């Protein structure tokens, strides 16, 4: 994730040589051509962004009422600049322009995930709401009684490690007490964004969000449905197996084998990953137990050492070392003396010269993979260093999220053994099924969650889900896509969407669904480039300069070309495709079908 100012300018491009002039006689830049306009915007981004970036960084790493004031004011100025930029772009008709100029003007019009009204008071209001919502999340704690409070990290640890049904239920329900206050704020936030979207000429904010993928909104909707339909059978097989095992552990009275799974039993606060309940789901007990967390803990690995380990993978591909400023300026562990937003994020500050991450790193396998994910963003920024500011983004937002996770797929058991993080890697069929199960609980389990988050928001933005139906609409979609249900009765007094960072943080989420498709597609192509000839799940591109060059060439394009061209650069063809996931997990899916034979699957 990136800060507000950068997100306001996301998915933008630069001009080439058009000469269509502005036509408003009151405009001081009346004779400005399209290429002059975008060149000016590029320069103003460089000049103005540093203050905004600093304000958001300080607020995220030091949450106080004072820093909330600072970030709100910076947000107002950022929104004012975005509004003026949009006004300038609207003076040009991209249909009368050509090439990169047309792309630039269209991208500017679609570039904001938070379209704000063209009214100073309302811009101030929406900036304040944005800061308030994120602050409520970052400061959120569940207090069972005075002096007995737990933050998200502590509650998440219970969800991940406890196997007591009631304790899990309390932790799950407790975290969702932090979001009830957000509900009226979010309703007004949506209202203001929709007003801004309407002023831009769109029906609502959902159209703005879906229009930035180099295809029509209808084509994009069709594409996401097609991709989900490709991978849904694998998810359904996994869901059936997991539900049956949970019923064995907790009893079929608590986990009926023909109903959605209670959400608090899946090892993650949002049931988006099921990897932390692997101990209950392990196909073959004790076969090739790749306990990376234990190795990190026993080895006393520090946050810096873990980050350096992740950096080493990228440099093995021939990509550059991280600048010294990265380690100096990043926040790599949670401070003991203040509230911070621990949700991991990557920051391209100083026009990309001052790259850094913010992550509360712990000696766990999850933290190690998250570091790789965030460094994927960082290397995208670094490879774009010579591009103008408006080009410094992913080919589409799913590309940005996929890069680090593509690298994680190369963290094979043999690679982990070479790093000294696991011993005695087994190579039997049983070991393979165990390894694939562990990966699927992370990657496959996520897919429907990645799709439904924005589907809920799109329906909220369009009015299909009214404010009076926020929570019911949320759980309807979670049951439809994930096959899960809340462990206790939820009502419209609750605001369960707000308990997930990306809702109060206003971060579009379809990018993560697309990234989970793309990472396997990228992995397959890069493995072929590296000369791998065996099964896809055995491939690691570590040390392949050829694969690194192909990846680096794609990263260097930024958003300067349609994503289909970037896709061609890394895979040799222009389409997104979910078949690589099925190739990767073919051994596991065959095994799951055998295990599920005769069982009642579905919900």
Catalytic status, residue 333? no
Give the total residue count for the chain: 603
Residue 512: active-site member: yes
Give yes or no: 501 in active site: no
Angstrom distance (rounded) from CA 350 to CA 392: 12
- Choosing from 311, 374, 442, 479, the catalytic residue is 374
Structure tokens that stand for 231 in this block? 């991978």
Element (H, E) at 151: strand 148-151
Tell me how far CA of residue 387 lies from CA of 14, 352, 384, 579, in angstroms.
9, 10, 5, 33
3-state secondary structure at position 520: helix
CA pair distance 135, 148, nearest whole angstrom: 21
The residue assigned the tokens 């009151």 is: 26
> How far apart are alpha carbons 104 and 92 in whole angstroms?
11
Q: Hey, what are 433's tokens?
A: 């099924």
Helix (H) or strand (E) holding 148: strand 148-151
Distance CA 131, CA 112 (A): 17
Closest by Cα among 136, 180, 159 to 269: 159
Phi/psi of residue 572, each to 5°? 85, 0
40's torsion region: left (phi>0), alpha (psi -120 to 50) or beta?
alpha
Pick the catalytic residue: 53, 74, 310, 343? Answer: 343
**Could you say which of 239, 264, 372, 373 is catalytic?**
373
Catalytic site residue from 344, 440, 547, 569: 344
Which whole-number Å values give the CA distances from 399 to 59, 128, 466, 520, 570, in the listed order?
A: 27, 30, 32, 12, 11
- Give 142's strand partners: 150
Contacts 24+ apart (CB under 8 A), 490-496: 492/468, 493/180, 494/176, 494/179, 494/180, 495/179, 495/180, 495/182, 495/183, 495/186, 495/470, 495/471, 496/176, 496/179, 496/471
> Contact, 276 vs 268, CB < 8 A?
yes
Active site residue 401: yes
| Residue 255 and residue 261 in contact, taking contact as beta carbons nearer than 8 Å | yes
Residue 125 annotated among the catalytic residues of the structure: no
Establish whether 68 is a catalytic residue: no
For residues 71-81, b (16+ Cβ closer than 10 Å) or e, as one string? bbbbbbbbbbb
User: CB under 8 Å to 427, separation ≥6 — which residues?
Assistant: none
Three-class DSSP labels, 320-388: CCCCHHHHHHCECCCCCCCCCCCCCEEEEECCCCEEEEECCCCCCHHHHHHHHHHHHHHHHHHHCCCCC
Q: Which of 100, 195, 401, 455 is catalytic?
A: 401
Catalytic residues, by residue number, are: 343-344, 373-374, 377, 401, 502, 512
């Amino acid at each position: 994730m990136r800060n507000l100012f950068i997100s306001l300018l996301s998915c933008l491009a630069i001009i080439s040589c058009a000469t269509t002039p502005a036509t408003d006689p009151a405009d001081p830049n009346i004779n400005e051509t399209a290429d002059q306009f975008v060149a000016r915007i590029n320069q103003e981004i460089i000049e103005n962004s540093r203050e905004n970036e600093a304000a958001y960084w300080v607020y995220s790493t030091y949450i106080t009422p004072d820093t909330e004031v600072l970030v709100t004011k910076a947000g107002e100025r950022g929104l004012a600049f975005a509004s003026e930029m949009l006004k300038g772009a609207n003076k040009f008709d991209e249909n009368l322009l050509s090439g990169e100029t047309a792309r630039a003007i269209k991208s500017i019009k679609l570039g904001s995930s938070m379209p704000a009204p063209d009214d100073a008071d309302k811009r101030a209001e929406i900036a304040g709401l944005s800061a308030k919502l994120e602050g409520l999340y970052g400061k959120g704690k569940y207090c069972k009684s005075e002096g007995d409070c737990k933050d998200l990290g502590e509650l998440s640890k219970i969800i991940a490690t406890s196997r007591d049904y009631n304790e899990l239920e309390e932790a799950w329900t407790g975290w969702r007490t932090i979001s009830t206050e957000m509900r009226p704020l979010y309703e007004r936030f949506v209202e203001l964004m929709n007003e801004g979207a309407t002023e831009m000429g769109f029906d609502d904010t959902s159209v703005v969000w879906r229009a930035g993928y180099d295809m029509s909104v209808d084509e994009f909707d069709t594409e996401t449905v097609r991709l989900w339909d490709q991978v849904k059978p694998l998810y359904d097989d996994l869901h059936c197996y997991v539900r049956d095992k949970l019923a064995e552990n907790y009893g079929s009275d608590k986990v009926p084998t023909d109903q959605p799974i209670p959400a608090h039993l899946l090892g993650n606060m949002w049931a988006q990953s099921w990897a932390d309940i692997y101990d209950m789901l392990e196909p073959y007990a004790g076969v090739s137990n790749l306990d990376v967390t234990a190795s990190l803990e026993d080895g006393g690995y520090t946050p810096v050492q873990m980050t350096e380990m992740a950096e080493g993978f990228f440099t093995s591909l021939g990509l550059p070392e991280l600048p010294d400023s990265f380690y100096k300026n990043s926040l790599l562990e949670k401070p003991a003396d203040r509230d911070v937003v621990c949700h991991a994020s990557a920051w391209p500050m100083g026009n990309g010269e001052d790259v850094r991450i913010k992550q509360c790193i712990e000696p766990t396998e999850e933290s190690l993979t998250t570091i790789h994910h965030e460094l994927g963003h960082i290397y995208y920024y670094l490879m774009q260093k010579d591009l103008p500011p408006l080009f410094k983004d992913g080919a589409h937002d799913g590309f940005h999220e996929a890069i680090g996770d593509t690298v994680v797929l190369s963290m094979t058991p043999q690679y982990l053994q070479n790093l000294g993080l696991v011993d005695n890697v087994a190579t039997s069929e049983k070991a393979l099924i165990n390894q694939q199960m562990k990966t699927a609980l992370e990657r496959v389990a996520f897919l429907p969650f990645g799709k439904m988050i924005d589907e809920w928001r799109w329906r909220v933005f369009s009015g299909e889900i009214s404010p009076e139906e926020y929570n019911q609409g949320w759980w309807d979609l979670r049951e439809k896509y994930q096959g899960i249900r809340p462990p206790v009765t939820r009502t419209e007094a609750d605001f369960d969407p707000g308990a997930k960072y990306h809702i109060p943080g206003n971060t579009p989420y379809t990018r993560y669904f697309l990234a989970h498709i793309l990472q396997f597609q990228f992995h397959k192509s890069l493995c072929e480039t590296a000369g791998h000839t065996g099964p896809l799940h055995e491939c690691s591109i570590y040390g392949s300069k050829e694969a690194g060059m192909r990846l680096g060439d794609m990263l260097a394009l930024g958003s300067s070309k349609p994503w289909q061209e970037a896709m061609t650069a890394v895979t040799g063809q222009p389409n997104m495709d979910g078949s690589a996931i099925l190739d990767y997990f073919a051994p596991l899916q065959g095994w799951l079908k055998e295990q599920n034979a005769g069982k009642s699957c579905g919900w």
